[in-house]
Amino acid sequence: MTTFILFIIILGLIVFIHEFGHFIFAKKAGIHVFEFSLGFGPKLFSFRRKNDETEYMVKLIPLGGYVALAGEVYDEEDEELKKIPEDKRLYNKSFLRQLSVLVAGVFNNFVLGLVLLFIIGLSFGTSYSTNELSELNKNYPLYKLGARNGDKIIEIDNKKTKNFDDIQTAIAISGGKKTLSIKIKNKNNEIKTYKVKPKYDKENDSYYYGISVKTKNEKGIVSSIKFAFTKFISIFKSLIIVLISLFTGKLGINSLSGPVGIYQVVGIAKSSLLSILSLTAYLSINVGFMNILPFPAFDGGRAFLLIIEKITGKKVPLKVESMINEIGFFILMGLMLFITVKDVLKLF
């Protein structure tokens, strides 16, 4: 039960922050907002504020949310839309106002991620991982091949590595079981390349390369700000690498996780406040990253069409845009269903 409640709180916070971005920018732009909803499906409860056209609601399925704006979708028979003045519809606002409304959710997710990372740094101290090897285990492959403490891992499979996040991402993309080409610079600035085959540990059912790196610990407001931005960039870069690897086939769709996978991770993270804050920050940045992608139904897809309109000077018909977004939505729902079923099957 604790895991479920925590799952709802984390997901609810990330969704609320995202949708609130769309909502507040739309209100500031003078756009009519029909609904602000957390969740999908049957309505649990709703309310309206005095002198406010928006209906605020919470729905049964807590896996997302939305803000319904006037002029956002095409529906020539929408009687409610016909009552809204033209100047209060999204498509009649300036390019910059429309763009700000579309990307505001992503912006809020990134800000939430940065704030949480700053809180982590301020509360628990900052820990910067490096690419410098430290406390190598003599029984594992990397040491046996000749690497020593103080050496630096500068590349793994032709991917540059500046810190442990880069190293972890490179290993994850490889699948964690194959032989890696690891380029190392020693204390004399000599560069050597090692072909490292991981060692299998039967007891833990895991593969180990024997990579251990040096970390730097700091405290204070300045170091916390530095940590927040450094970690944000590192997470963002790893997401880009994962996305590219999915397109190139280095990572399969089976490597993706959906709500069930997240629920399992929440169950593990609930043991400490640090883990909960770290997971929430990562998920918020992840949601922002996914939404900025130029794919139909994502905020980035709609922003992309808007930018194309600005460049070409030709407006994409609202009917066509709505159709593109609907197709993208169904593809997205199909992918989500597939990933969810995959995650459920892993439980058995």
Active site residues: 19
The span from the CA of 255 to the CA of 237, in Å, is 18
DSSP string, 120-158: HHHHH-EEEEEEEE-S--TTSHHHHHT--TT-EEEEETT
Sign of CA dihedral 299, 301, 302, 304: positive
The greatest distance separating any two alpha carbons of the chain, rounded to the nearest whole angstrom, comes to: 75
User: What is the C-alpha radius of gyration for the chain, rounded to an integer number of angstroms?
Assistant: 24
Residue 280 gets the label, from left (phi > 0), alpha (psi -120 to 50) or beta, of alpha
DSSP string, 299-317: HHHHHHHHHHHHHHS-PPP
Residue 56 near residue 47 (C-beta atoms within 8 A):
yes
- What's the gap between Cα 307 and its chain centre? 23
